[in-house]
Amino acid sequence: MSDINIRITGKAGRITLTRPQALNAMTYEMCLAIEATLDSWREDDAVTLVVIDAEGDRAFCSGGDIAELYETGTKGDYAYGQKFWADEYRLNHKIFSYPKPVVSFMQGFTMGGGVGIGCHGSHRIVGESSQIAMPEVGIGLVPDVGGSLMLALAPGRLGEYLGVTASRMNADDAIYAGFADTYVPQSMWEDLISELEQTGDVGRIDPVAVAPPEGVLRAQQTQIDALFAGEALGDIQRLLATDESDFAAAARKLMGRNSPLSMACAVEIVHRLRGTSLSIEKALDLEYRFTARAMEHADFLEGIRAAIIDKDRSPKWRFTEGDVPTMEVSKMLMPLGENALTL
């Protein structure tokens, strides 16, 4: 298909996203094509490793192509979205557990669905233009595609902060937070990919890695831990309201754009994941409990309307006054029974 270029070059299976005009946003067809390809390469001795990259300077993958989700959802067809997310999460799981090295090169925007294909591989490379984020709460979803796993594993309360503010991470921040592994200047990417194709040796990555330009998260960690330590979204909001720092003001402004129900559920998901039972399977299951209900019971359709349909950037969220009721969070995250995600 024209949106993706799949081939074997040397010892490398190559998957290149080729719709830079759309910031390489992931369509349903692209998702299925990547999954089928990974399945076929799993036992193929000709493929030693997999390289996932993208055309264009602006984005590795800006997220999922959500226009069709809106079109079907506004007609009352929730099954399409449920199938889309279930199939996408199955792909995320396959990348995470793939038996061969998966090397991703993430320039520019890597957000939402882009995190799902770029940040679960074994070798995650970022460069000087990289901007990684989980912005789902801004459209009435929760951090998904397995991203909640990384949020739960991030240092201190960084997971809550990134999940509810949708803050963007540069290369250094992404490595610190656990969304990436290695900084390689982008001028060196083409030669490095050629070496990987010729040798099939991921050890070639290490000699070209250098220290990235410094990010902001390390310096903010103490404030983040203090202000995002609440058990629920309302606790965090009250802590932020009493803090007069520039950091707290910036966080309040970012959160003011996002769906309160989504933020409350994002905090709850991160809290449920932390501990000895943390796994990619549990993360995807919790995410799917929300997304399977998102069109009918959450702010998703309103979020998409405001962001990409009418583009008025003025979503009318529910629960903008007072705390999000605990019961509403519980309802969004209840087990789905026979409709639960299967991987």
**Cα radius of gyration (the chain):** 19
> Of residues 53, 65, 88, 136, which has the active-site annotation?
136
The domains of the chain are located at: 1-343
> HSE-up of 298 (CA within 13 Å, CB side)?
32
Annotated active-site residue 55? The verdict is: no
> Of residues 13, 53, 63, 64, which has the active-site annotation?
64
| pLDDT of 209 | 92
Residue 213 is given by DSSP the state P
CA–chain centroid gap for 26, Å, is 12
Give the residues across from 123 on adjacent strands.
Answer: 103
Annotated active-site residue 147? The verdict is: no
Closest CA to 130 of 63, 164, 192, 175: 175
Annotated active-site residue 163? The verdict is: no
Q: How confident is the model at residue 261 (pLDDT cuts 50, 70, 90)?
A: very high
> Of residues 112, 113, 146, 163, which has the active-site annotation?
113
| pLDDT of 274 | 95
Quick: pLDDT tens for 3-21.
999 999 999 999 999 999 9
Does pTM surpass 0.75? yes
Longest dimension (CA), the chain: 60
Residue 116 neighbours by CB under 8 Å, 6+ apart: 26, 88, 89, 91, 92, 95, 144, 145, 146, 147
| pLDDT of 98 | 98
Contact 223, 245 (CB under 8 A): yes
Contact 132, 150 (CB under 8 A): no
Residue 1 has pLDDT above 70, yes or no: no
> Of residues 53, 144, 268, 328, which has the active-site annotation?
144
Distance CA 149, CA 163 (A): 11
Residue 185 neighbours by CB under 8 Å, 6+ apart: 127, 128, 210
| pLDDT of 149 | 98
Residue 174 has pLDDT above 70, yes or no: yes
Class of domain 1-343: alpha beta
Quick: pLDDT tens for 106-164.
999 999 999 999 999 999 999 999 999 999 999 999 999 999 999 999 999 999 999 99
